[in-house]
Chains A and B, each alone.
Chain A
């Protein structure tokens, strides 16, 4: 093996990679903005057992969880615009695909949290004269969400990792910028090594913080 590594070329264009990283964070932020509230709504609707709506919520959750993220991204970029006669760019397509899918995953997390709250809490809320929605809002949800915060964070870190797939529809995020940089500099190995390390440092740090948060919450319980 007589390959000469040259990382200098990559570092000379490091600002280009950083621009990509900003794109990654934007996409992750947008997807989370969609997923966090939508997931909660799906979970509540599923638990409420509203005749048609609950069934739809179950179908939604199962369908998105059984889909591969990359296929969803392609579907929302190439197929969905034809269906609704609206054209949109890679950012919208990728945020929709990833956000809607993350919502399905998060719905299951919220649901497990809500179901883990004992009957006694519901009875206590009723004794205070609260109806279903008030009890959910003021008694059940605060406790339920607190319990599942670490799992939610794990899901969000997963989402950050998944945003890399948006490179496949040429959305300007880190991996896509890496592809462009490596074809400009003919240094794909160095470029992708640097990008891999950037992802590793970010995601590893996030996972460690999540683990510490989990331990902290477990202790204060």
Chain B
């Protein structure tokens, strides 16, 4: 009969804190890079040039149809050979997860940009704006407002995805949980704590995003 016993956490809370830091660092870098990749690929998908459209479509279809775990392993093994630098779990995981999430962000941008009426583009042209300035000042501001719910949802997915990096021994929450469970012989408590912390982060994030959406809806 096992009794719940969380007392070891008082001694070893820094293990969890390290993991929390690892998760947040990986999530932040992945989010920044994948939002950027997504906007580039999203612009490619809506471009007038057939070559750019094809290239962006290939990127999106390829990366979102392969499991994130397979991409993480692939980058983990390919990096040292391509660059000659030693395997680095953080860089491998951030690269793989950014490419993977970037493909999902691209589709969000695409549908957002396509939801803006053609007349807005004509208005931009009438003001003497080129493609990029029309995009930047006329099309993107209202488009991004419409995309906010989808963007925040996908960002939450990114935070969940960071757990995959534990498989290449990157020190995030789940990996630190494994470490605790093995050194303290307390799998039940270790995994429950890790699960609870991540759920806590995600609940906070989704609460924040609902408030943001409501504020934006009011200002519409």
Seen from chain A, the residues whose Cβ lies within 8 Å of a Cβ on chain B are 1, 3, 63, 66-72, 74-75, 78-79, 82-83, 85, 161-162, 164-165, 167-168, 175, 178-179, 182, 188-189, 192-193, 195-196, 199-200, 203-204, 207
Chain B hits for A165, CB < 8 A: 67, 69, 164
Interface of A is mostly: helix
Instruction: Output the least CB separation between B36 and chain A (Å).
Output: 23
Chain A residue numbers with a CB within 8 Å of B61 are 204
Instruction: Give chain B interface residues in 148-199, CB to chain A under 8 Å.
Output: 160-161, 163-164, 166-167, 174, 177-178, 181, 187-188, 190-192, 194-195, 198-199
A200 interface neighbour in B66, B161, B187, Cβ under 8 Å: B66
Question: Which listed residue (B73, B166, B177, B203) contacts A175, Cβ 8 A?
Answer: B73
What residues of chain B lie closer than 8 Å to A195, measured between beta carbons? 70
Closest 3 A-B residue pairs measured CB to CB?
Answer: A164-B67, A78-B187, A68-B160
Q: Residue B71 at the A interface, CB < 8 A?
A: yes
Assembly CA distance A1 to B163 (angstroms): 31
Complex interface: chain A residues within 8 A of B192 (CB):
75, 79
For the complex formed, measure the closest distance between the CB of A158 and the CB atoms of chain B, giving whole angstroms: 10
Q: How far is the CA of A71 from the CA of B190 in the complex (A)?
A: 11
Residue of A nearest to B206 (CB): A66
Taken together as a complex, chains A and B put the C-alpha atoms of A1 and B78 apart, in Å, by: 11
A-B contacts, 27 listed (Cβ < 8 Å): A3-B81, A66-B202, A66-B203, A67-B160, A68-B163, A68-B174, A69-B160, A70-B163, A71-B191, A71-B195, A71-B198, A74-B177, A74-B191, A75-B191, A78-B181, A79-B188, A161-B65, A164-B70, A167-B167, A178-B73, A179-B73, A188-B73, A189-B78, A192-B70, A192-B74, A196-B66, A199-B66
Partner of B81, one of A1, A71, A79, A199: A1
Residues of B within 8 Å of A193, CB to CB, are 74
Q: B77: CB under 8 A from chain A? A: yes
Cβ of B7 under 8 Å from chain A = no
Q: Say if the beta carbon of B2 comes within 8 Å of chain A.
A: yes
**A63 cross-chain contacts in B, Cβ below 8 A:** 199
